[in-house]
Amino acid sequence: MKIAFASCMNLRPGHAQPVWDRIAAHKPDYLFLLGDQIYMDFFPHLEEPKHWADDYFGQVMAQKYTDQWNVPGFKQLVASMRERQGPEGGVYGTWDDHDFAWNNACGSQVNAAKKNMSRALFAQFMQIDPPVAGLYYSTPLSHAGQRIGRAIFLDTRWYSEEPGDSHTLLGEDQFQFLQQELQDENGFVVICAGMPIRATGNGWMRYRDEYAKFRALIQGRNVIFLSGDIHENAFLPPAGATKMFEVISSGAFVTKYKVVGERENFGILDYTPTVTDIQLFDKHGLEHHNVIDNATFDHQEL
């Protein structure tokens, strides 16, 4: 079973997005889009959408989705993946700040009208519409007719408050969902979110109490956590008493602070019964390559 994962696409007129053809060449079973599928704002115009009228906000967001979904390579890849949408493959994902509202937006800072427009457009274009206010859900993972495990997608924006030790990130209902999903699954577990945990200073650890609650839920579980956001790739082995690898692929088509230049970052997770092979690519080719032993959950960097 092969999962391609990527995030952060800031479409600019006249610029191609060759990363999608590169992903297609790996012939993945699943495509996970992990946030910032569009950019409502980008430097030096950060946070401008918070001042827009609601109708204008919705119009701009709809156009940005339309433009990105019509990029030839992306459109072809998504269409080919959706031909088998379901347990055997397909396109899944969640959002982060720039496709939720604006840079670093928390749910508590965004009015109901903008939040509902954002969610409706995400559901329309991603064709994912969970029966909850936010965007948390799961999907089974299978290959060749055999159930392997499940992917759990979390929402780190809709319910969130501004960072603080006792402030909300996921919220009680989402924690109950996550707890039940983990209890019901004995196989391979991938947890996905737009906001990284340890790979950035702007991650989950700013929410001390909820981060501790999350760590307690995954204690002793073999988990691979996939995320985006930071405009670069990263592979972080388990820390402390957890058995969770954090893997980031960010920058499918975006610049790094408008200095480093265009990214073509993506990841490939290739699961077999014995090992999980994780490769992270940039525009020059293979950047990180790690193999995890599924029995011991030890890893080797190649």
And the tokens for 18? 């060759």
Going by DSSP bridges, is the β-strand pair 266-271/2-6 parallel, antiparallel, or unpaired?
A: antiparallel
Helices (H) and strands (E) in the chain, counts: 7, 13
For residues 46-52, give the mean pLDDT: 96
What is the identity of the amino acid at 80?
S
Please give the mean pLDDT across all residues of the chain: 95
C-alpha distances (whole Å) from 184 to each of 94, 189, 246, 268 are 22, 11, 22, 26
pLDDT digits (tens, 9 = 90+) for 247-257: 999 999 987 65
Where would I find the beta strands (DSSP E) of 83-216? 90-94, 137-143, 146-153, 188-192
CA–CA separation, 252 vs 243, rounded Å? 28
The per-residue pLDDT for 258 is 57
The per-residue pLDDT for 261 is 60
Domain extent for 211: 2-301
The per-residue pLDDT for 100 is 98
Between 90-94, 223-227, 240-244, the lowest mean confidence (pLDDT) is in 240-244
And the tokens for 150? 């499940």
For residues 41-70, give the mean pLDDT: 96
Handedness of CA 154, 158, 163, 167 (dihedral sign): negative
CATH of the domain at 136: 3.60.21.70
CA–CA separation, 177 vs 170, rounded Å? 10
**pTM of the entire structure?**
0.96
pLDDT digits (tens, 9 = 90+) for 158-176: 999 999 999 999 999 999 9
The per-residue pLDDT for 122 is 98
And the tokens for 241? 């008493």
The per-residue pLDDT for 43 is 86
Tell me if 281 sits within 8 A of 265, measured CB to CB.
yes
The per-residue pLDDT for 259 is 54
pLDDT digits (tens, 9 = 90+) for 114-165: 999 999 999 999 999 999 999 999 999 998 889 999 999 999 999 999 999 9
pLDDT exceeds 80 at position 206: yes
- Per cent of the chain over pLDDT 70 is 98
pLDDT digits (tens, 9 = 90+) for 32-44: 999 999 999 998 8
Question: How many domains does the chain fold into?
Answer: 1
CA–CA separation, 253 vs 244, rounded Å? 27
CA–CA separation, 112 vs 294, rounded Å? 43
The per-residue pLDDT for 69 is 97
Residue-wise burial string across 278-287, b where 16 or more C-beta atoms lie within 10 A, e elsewhere: bbbbbeeeeb
For residues 27-32, give the mean pLDDT: 97
pLDDT exceeds 90 at position 242: no
